[in-house]
Structure 1
Amino acid sequence: MLTAKGAATRRRIIDGAAAEIRDKGAATATLDDVRARTSTSKSQIFHYFPGGKEELLLAVAAREAERVLEDQQPHLDDLTTWQAWRDWRDAVIRRYEQQGVNCPLGVLITELGRSTPAAQALTTQLIEQWQAALRAGILRMQETGEADRRLDADRTAAALVAAVQGGVVILMSTGAIGHLEAALDTFLTLLRASGRARAR
């Protein structure tokens, strides 16, 4: 169990490593770079991350995964109206516009190896949390009659996560955000239309 000071030092190292990765890339950033940026010693880095660079990269990836969901708040946990869904959509677009073609989480997962258990577990946890939040929002809209109750909320949420990720991949490949905007706008239009059609 870390003390408050220890937890703060560990977080400073993670944040410093994340900044180095954004500046130089995961493959190029070194522990010495992180040490210099965070004003910590090599012994401190290995105290908090005994596994060295790989363990530190995994910690940074975990933090970046948290940020994916944090950047969608408070909207993601309050998808109770169409305006709330629109606000969430805008938050997603804003996040990835600011990120541009550089995706720290994607780079880190690639560096760690997508097939490693730790990387797979991290990605799975992120997708499951994201999908669960969207599922809860869809269920709320179904309960109020704003969306068709016949829709499978879990599969619909899964499709939305896949659509967002597809748009992000295209953004990273081309620098164009239009596909992500189209995916979100089309999904919201169809979800809203499902409730109207059911009410007729």
Structure 2
Amino acid sequence: MEHKEHFNLMQFFEGYVRNYRRFNLSTVHNRSMITQREISHFANLGEMLGFDSFIEDTKFDAARGRSRPMDLAWWKLDIDQSEEEYAFLALHLERENVRSKDMETIDKLFSETYANYVPHNVIGIQHIESVERMAFLNEEVASRNALQGSAALMMYWHYDRKANKNYVYGEFFGPYGERESKQALCSADSFGYWSMNLVKVQPVG
């Protein structure tokens, strides 16, 4: 059986939260720029960890019979095994701003594919319409990951209209059924620049 290299993805979530101010994103930036900066953050992280990072790489999707783009992929090259072929797909990341595409994001992360394209780790970052919807999506991720066996991190952005606050929920799904949750509050300073802070976890649903 193949040994999978799983990451402590909740640590990645904390790094994302603590470094968000360094992205230099403000209230005047559009969603495309926000997506670009966030993907670049994880692309740079992958390279610092010794992986090859590729933005808009492709992965075969058996259900559709064709390849589909990955927003970001980390590949591991082990020259002791091969100088030409990658040993495994270390990470598949998807970033989605459109709330109605939440299931499409999950479909991409947990698609049936060639054995060497099954990611050891996955990260999904997406906006959601409600915390009730997040509970539904979490069950989908847990069910699909039980088959895929990745370390999975879903980061859900949700704007609470009643409280007028932006929350980011980090939901971790381990390869053996482990679960962990963290929450962060995203707010703009007096100059309009976004930053985040971890907050006490509140029950979902």
More helix by share: 1
Global fold match (TM > 0.5): no
Q: Which has the higher strand share?
A: 2
